[in-house]
Structure 1
């Protein structure tokens, strides 16, 4: 089997969060805290990963929202937590804490307590539990119902029951799923849902997970535990157990939970398709349009005055990463939008597509260093001219992909461009038309353009209704460690391949 880079083999951390002894900023009740998580890496801009739900009237919240983050052991990944009290006037700052992901994972049981600071004063403790998650092929789809659930609302109403599911990680129960609640019903039937065995029990069919049944109170305040039980996948599927007694914390049965429907699901992943013999075809396209600047000037992205210009660096970096996807390390290189004067290439007029080797029958070179050399050695033989028109290149790629549709060949296509695409509407239509073909398109932005048009186009593609297969990735090129560039460029390839196969 070919040894290739597989993003799915990387470690993914799921972060579970709670706080204790938060300051109360309210006068007549308790604060309603929520948490915002900010992430930064190696000098890159800080980004917000999202926020938790608001814990109503609670100074010791266990937030249900968790955060999934890729773990890069060799890089510094900084997490900054900010906690706010939500109120009618907006929000009020309650405190913040900061730590690296590595510090959490290296703590005992990957659980750490951080001091929360509010204007340099102590403001409680933040509990962070990190769970390392791997990819899973195995899922379960099931539906639960309740029978004779204990009424927690007295004579004036009935319980509004819902279920919570918990993974046991290092003897810490981490909430991984919650059903909807059913109003005023002691015999509820919840909607069917699907969950991976990795998330439920680390793919261990004998590892126990926990299910709690709770009564929902108004606005989720002070939800009341009715009962709970523990079980395993082995018990449910191999021993065919379908009914479980709900037990109160102090003992005593308070109802029954029954599984109405259940089924196992296996989904092939990226590695499975590689093992089946899928190989990769690597193609790089380079934008030579006038928007890149005149090569005889030092500020040009194609400057041949510079010993290693912007495109030269990017071409080499990208090829070095991509060659892990081809055993023979072969790349086909094409220019887009210029007047080539290449050896053995007779069409010395403006071309929307031409091979950098000068030979359409032999467009490939071997290894990332030869890719870099070919770009550099042909730079003075190419007259930068005209706009960047992408239609012919995309049609060519899609023709190759269509030809390989019945084979175990998948094309990874890269375009390095300054982003000013004159035929972007045609580009968009072609992407829609060819979304089911076996190829991925990695669009790499060069220079200081804001790439608004490209980003808007991709956003529209990803929000089609009904949804279409997404096989395009966009990244603005930056000079950074090869591990980071690899992460950005290849993060979506497994998903693209799997979505094509399925």
Structure 2
């Protein structure tokens, strides 16, 4: 980010963050599409575009459904939904001439539809006519978009199916089977959940594993009916029905756990006509893995403690504490900015610390017994405010502020403003622990050890630790935006990137007129995500929740909040 843009970012007032976006899944289907192919039917796919900065930006694209004028797409679009924004969407349907990932410039346009995400969410299901260029109707073509809120989704499942001895539907070769999985809705309608790939010329196919959210699979209701249909693929779109079976996710889990996860694939017409008919093959659930998406509250309710540490700037730029203009001046009737920020954040954090004891550190001052006006000594950048290096903890928020008031006359405010020592000190405490640490740094100016601070933050990003920096006073804090990873990944002077974004910087003056609750909400908004990210990276589920008996593989690391869990395991967390 350029210096100019940094200054604009610093100058812009920081509003209290809105609630985090809800997640919405969109499913698409079309009816009565135009037929652009002379010998076969159209091969439709849908392109999703989002209006951003006065232009349409491609978001995603569905798969191609071959030779169909009434396609139901298995591809699910997942979007963030913001109540306070108008999110304009455009759906464009094309007769695809090649693979859907090769672009759409050479495809035939079958029609488009525009609406807002808010309209889809409000109605849950929107059916609109498709329009050609210049607003002309595309015949009777329509597109239906169905929305589901997955904000409360508690995980997803990975399924792997295979089949044995399927019916042979082809005259000169074997069947080309694929499987479709449907969810039965409350009104009896069926919603396509997933369509596998086609396995060519094989009566005992093994389909690739696939992942679906539990909300998508069964609306998070394990007893909801599911249907599996097996087809012999036809390049002209006239697929031959092989058979089907019904089950539930609950039944799948139980059968898989008992090594009995197989179902007869039945064709009802054959059953009626053939006296000795048994099945048209057998479908086997080869693997089932459930993944729990853990939340911040999962960890808190699982016993995770949050240890709060405050580090306060005692440099000379704060002014003489005896002067009413000093940022450290203690007014019995009006708390200074340091105290306001400390109370606002500390009172929230103390609810997650069972012993209510907080570490309180100072930096940038000469302290006793080293300090003497006639004997210059080294400045301390990580001293205990209670002057007890063996135990820097204080009882509650008031216990933090009390030694500040009594200690100010005993220290010589000096400088420079070095933050790296206190970051490193808290990092050393966090390294061997299983609790989470929040460091609140209160400073009246830009840190002077920026390179060392960046290095310390990058190292701390691997630890159970978050850093909140509040700038008090009227200094120019533009350069402090560098430490906040919102504008890009923070890197150490050696170029090593931070594993996680763990720093939140807020100038106090931007929220000075707001309530303490607003300040706390602003500076603590990112902490829940940071907690979940850390424990997910370390592959540590909340205490009391199980871990999966199968190896989740290296892809699990770094996916926030996701952890495989067994359908029956009660293994605790170390």
| TM-score, normalised by the number of residues in structure 1 | 0.64
Is 1:97 the counterpart of 2:115? The answer is yes
Offset at residue 373 of structure 1 (A): 12
Is 1:81 the counterpart of 2:107? The answer is no
The unaligned stretches of length 5 or more in structure 2 are 1-18, 95-102, 272-278, 320-324, 329-333, 472-476, 542-574
Q: Distance in 2 between matches of 1:22 and 1:474?
A: 53
Offset at residue 18 of structure 1 (A): 1.6
Q: Distance in 2 between matches of 1:372 and 1:87?
A: 68
Check the 8 A contact 1:329/1:366 in 2, yes or no. Answer: yes
Evaluate the alpha carbon distance shift between residue 304 and residue 444 of structure 1 in structure 2; reply closer, same or farther with a 3 A threshold: closer
Match of 2:396 among 366, 378, 382: 366
Evaluate the alpha carbon distance shift between residue 493 and residue 288 of structure 1 in structure 2; reply closer, same or farther with a 3 A threshold: farther
Match of 2:262 among 243, 250, 259: 243
Is 1:206 the counterpart of 2:223? The answer is yes
Check the 8 A contact 1:12/1:133 in 2, yes or no. Answer: yes
Check the 8 A contact 2:157/2:291 in 1, yes or no. Answer: yes
**Structure 1 partner of 2:535:** 497
Match of 2:125 among 104, 111, 114: 111
**Structure 2 partner of 1:51:** 60
Q: Distance in 2 between matches of 1:460 and 1:145?
A: 52
**Structure 2 partner of 1:299:** none
Check the 8 A contact 1:412/1:440 in 2, yes or no. Answer: yes
The unaligned stretches of length 5 or more in structure 1 are 1-8, 297-301
Give the structure with the higher percent strand: 1
Match of 1:232 among 244, 248, 252: 248
Offset at residue 401 of structure 1 (A): 2.2
Is 1:427 the counterpart of 2:427? The answer is no
**Structure 2 partner of 1:4:** none
Larger-Rg structure: 2
Q: Distance in 2 between matches of 1:13 and 1:66?
A: 12
Q: Distance in 1 between matches of 2:154 and 2:115?
A: 32
Is 1:16 the counterpart of 2:40? The answer is no
Match of 2:207 among 175, 178, 190: 190
Offset at residue 98 of structure 1 (A): 0.7
Q: Distance in 2 between matches of 1:254 and 1:232?
A: 21
Match of 1:128 among 135, 143, 146: 146
**Structure 2 partner of 1:451:** 482
Q: Distance in 2 between matches of 1:150 and 1:460?
A: 65
Is 1:339 the counterpart of 2:339? The answer is no
Q: Distance in 2 between matches of 1:81 and 1:59?
A: 23
Evaluate the alpha carbon distance shift between residue 319 and residue 53 of structure 1 in structure 2; reply closer, same or farther with a 3 A threshold: farther
Equivalences for residues 207-222 of structure 1 within 5 A: 207-213=224-230
Offset at residue 112 of structure 1 (A): 4.1
Q: Distance in 1 between matches of 2:383 and 2:436?
A: 22
Match of 1:144 among 161, 164, 173: 161
Check the 8 A contact 2:159/2:289 in 1, yes or no. Answer: yes
CA deviation digits over 1:179-225, x for unaligned, max 9?
Answer: 5543432311234566675653355442222334456677xx95947
Aligned-residue Cα RMSD (Å) equals 5.8
Offset at residue 426 of structure 1 (A): 3.7
Evaluate the alpha carbon distance shift between residue 194 and residue 60 of structure 1 in structure 2; reply closer, same or farther with a 3 A threshold: closer
Check the 8 A contact 1:97/1:126 in 2, yes or no. Answer: no
Check the 8 A contact 1:212/1:225 in 2, yes or no. Answer: no
* Partner SS, residue 265 of structure 2: strand
Evaluate the alpha carbon distance shift between residue 471 and residue 194 of structure 1 in structure 2; reply closer, same or farther with a 3 A threshold: same
Q: Distance in 2 between matches of 1:331 and 1:356?
A: 11
Q: Distance in 2 between matches of 1:287 and 1:22?
A: 69
Match of 2:285 among 244, 248, 259: 259
Q: Distance in 1 between matches of 2:313 and 2:457?
A: 18
Q: Distance in 2 between matches of 1:404 and 1:77?
A: 41
Check the 8 A contact 2:361/2:382 in 1, yes or no. Answer: yes
**Structure 1 partner of 2:436:** 410
| TM-score, normalised by the number of residues in structure 2 | 0.58
Comparing 260-269 and 199-208, the one that deviates more: 260-269
Q: Distance in 2 between matches of 1:321 and 1:113?
A: 46
Check the 8 A contact 2:466/2:527 in 1, yes or no. Answer: no
Evaluate the alpha carbon distance shift between residue 496 and residue 210 of structure 1 in structure 2; reply closer, same or farther with a 3 A threshold: farther
Is 1:33 the counterpart of 2:52? The answer is no
Q: Give aligned pairs, total.
A: 455
Evaluate the alpha carbon distance shift between residue 35 and residue 273 of structure 1 in structure 2; reply closer, same or farther with a 3 A threshold: closer
Evaluate the alpha carbon distance shift between residue 165 and residue 25 of structure 1 in structure 2; reply closer, same or farther with a 3 A threshold: closer
Offset at residue 269 of structure 1 (A): 7.1
